[in-house]
């Protein structure tokens, strides 16, 4: 079964635009799980423009499914996740002021650094996932690092999907095959939507989890959160 983890960053973005506590990140955490989401994802950035460190600590007791925290493995980030102990940490190579993730790790270039990070997470019984481009060489580097999972960066797939879906999915199939051969579980995320999710799901049989935020929260503005989550879950059948 492919699990749906809802990224609630955009809930926090809306709250922060006005200040105060509306909409509530805590309430969103509870409701997403109640409506069927099998995980909650957050990406606390250094500038705290959406999810804050305080949010991370506040919602941890509310997680009844799985908690996935994304971020660049700075000393401050690692200190936080080791204190919070989520189920999974997804490591991304984002710059300090980057708007959104737009590439995966060069796993070979960062081999030693990422090995040390993964080792620290493993010592604290936290599952690790490394954000990578759909590239077999990058997947092989991830295996050398001994990560538990990779997360395939799916923006290139989402961009090409409306034009030539068969070509769009090809590198992702090859990367997923390499991960299976190397005994690494596969997650996917970035720009996945109701339009393109089912096709990805049907072509990557070893897909463990998808993390979806921007499109899902945008859809919820029109359809409501409960209906939207059910529609995304339907795409994973």
Supply the pTM of this predicted model: 0.95
Report the distance separating Cα 112 and Cα 66, nearest Å. 28
Tell me: pLDDT of 181 over 70.
Answer: yes
In the set 66, 70, 151, 209, the catalytic residue is 70
In the set 43, 50, 151, 209, the catalytic residue is 43
Over residues 217-221, mean pLDDT: 98
For the question of residue 190 being annotated catalytic, the response is yes
For the question of residue 95 being annotated catalytic, the response is no
Q: Report the pLDDT value the prediction gives residue 101, as an integer from 0 to 100.
A: 60
Model pLDDT for residues 25-50, shown as the tens digit of each residue: 999 999 999 999 999 999 999 999 99
Q: Report the pLDDT value the prediction gives residue 104, as an integer from 0 to 100.
A: 86
Query: Nearest to residue 16, comparing CAs of 42, 45, 48?
Result: 48
Q: Report the pLDDT value the prediction gives residue 108, as an integer from 0 to 100.
A: 97
Q: Report the pLDDT value the prediction gives residue 103, as an integer from 0 to 100.
A: 75
For the question of residue 103 being annotated catalytic, the response is no
Give the burial string for 41-78 (b: 16+ CB within 10 Å, else e): bbbbbbeeebbbeebbeebbeebebbbbbbbbbeeebb
Query: Nearest to residue 232, comparing CAs of 3, 1, 78?
Result: 3
In the set 50, 151, 190, 209, the catalytic residue is 190
Model pLDDT for residues 84-120, shown as the tens digit of each residue: 999 999 999 966 665 566 678 999 999 999 999 999 9
Residue 161 Cα to chain centre, angstroms = 20
Q: Report the pLDDT value the prediction gives residue 94, as an integer from 0 to 100.
A: 67
The domains found in the chain, sorted by start residue, are: 3-234 (3.20.20.70)
């Amino acid at each position: 079964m492919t699990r749906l983890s809802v990224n609630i960053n955009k809930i926090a973005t809306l709250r922060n635009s006005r200040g105060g506590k509306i909409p509530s990140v805590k309430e969103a955490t509870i409701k997403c799980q109640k409506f069927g989401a099998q995980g909650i994802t957050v990406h606390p950035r250094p500038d705290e423009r959406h999810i804050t460190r305080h949010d991370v600590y506040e919602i941890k007791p509310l997680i009844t499914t799985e908690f996935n925290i994304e971020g660049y493995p700075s000393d401050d980030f690692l200190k936080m996740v080791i204190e919070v102990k989520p189920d999974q940490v997804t490591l991304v190579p984002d710059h300090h002021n980057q708007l959104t993730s737009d590439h995966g790790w060069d796993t070979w270039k960062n081999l030693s650094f990422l090995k040390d990070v993964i080792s620290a997470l493993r010592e604290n019984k936290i599952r690790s996932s490394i954000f990578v481009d759909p590239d077999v060489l990058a997947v092989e580097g991830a295996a050398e690092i001994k990560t538990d999972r990779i997360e395939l960066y799916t923006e290139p797939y989402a961009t090409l999907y409306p034009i030539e879906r068969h070509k769009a999915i090809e590198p992702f199939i090859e990367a997923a095959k390499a991960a299976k051969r190397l005994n690494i579980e596969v997650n996917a995320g970035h720009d996945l939507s109701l339009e393109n999710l089912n096709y990805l799901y049907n072509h990557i049989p070893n897909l463990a989890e998808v993390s979806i935020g921007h499109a899902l929260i945008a859809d919820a503005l029109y359809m409501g959160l409960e209906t939207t989550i059910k529609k995304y879950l339907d795409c994973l059948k």
